């Protein structure tokens, strides 16, 4: 099976948007805008899931005995998918860290 270029480009586009949303979410958390942060994470998760579903279908094809031809474009899409997944993990960690930092700052200000 030769994956369509359109499907591969959809993976690249979707996970690229997801990565951008995750980066913006970290910036919003840093600015203490957790409502905006949560919305950006939600959008990022939607876009990541979209790209992941397409990739998962290709894996299911391969597992079903239909050889999937790997080319440079598909390799790039897989690299972008993994990059977005890494940003998602880092986003979750950064947002949690900023929330905890804000809680500690609030606690310190109350004790003064």
- Using the structure block, give the residue that is written with the tokens 């977005």: 84
Could you state, in chain order, the average pLDDT of each consecutive group of 10 residues for the chain (112 residues)? Answer: 88 98 98 97 98 95 90 95 97 98 93 83
Under 8 Å between Cβ of 95 and 29: yes
Query: What is residue 69's predicted lDDT score, i.e. its pLDDT?
Result: 87
User: What sign does the CA torsion over 65, 66, 71, 77 have?
Assistant: negative
Alpha helices in 1-112 (DSSP H): 5-30, 34-63, 72-111
Number of domains in the chain: 1
Q: The domain containing residue 9 runs over which residues? A: 5-111
76 catalytic, yes or no? yes
Q: Annotation-wise, does 79 bind a ligand?
A: yes
CATH of the domain at 63: 1.20.58.80
Query: What is residue 12's predicted lDDT score, i.e. its pLDDT?
Result: 98
> Which residue of the set 52, 55, 67, 76 is catalytic?
76
Distance CA 78, CA 74 (A): 6
Query: What is residue 111's predicted lDDT score, i.e. its pLDDT?
Result: 86
């Amino acid at each position: 099976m030769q994956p369509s270029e359109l499907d591969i480009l959809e993976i690249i586009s979707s996970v690229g948007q997801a990565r951008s949303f995750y980066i913006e979410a970290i910036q919003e958390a840093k600015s203490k805008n957790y409502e905006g942060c949560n919305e950006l994470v939600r959008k990022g998760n939607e876009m990541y899931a979209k790209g992941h579903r397409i990739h998962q279908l290709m894996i299911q094809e391969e597992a079903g005995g239909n050889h999937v031809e790997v080319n440079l474009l598909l390799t790039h899409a897989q690299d972008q998918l993994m990059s977005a997944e890494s940003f998602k993990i880092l986003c979750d960690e950064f947002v949690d860290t900023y929330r905890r930092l804000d809680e500690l700052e609030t606690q310190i200000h109350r004790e003064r």
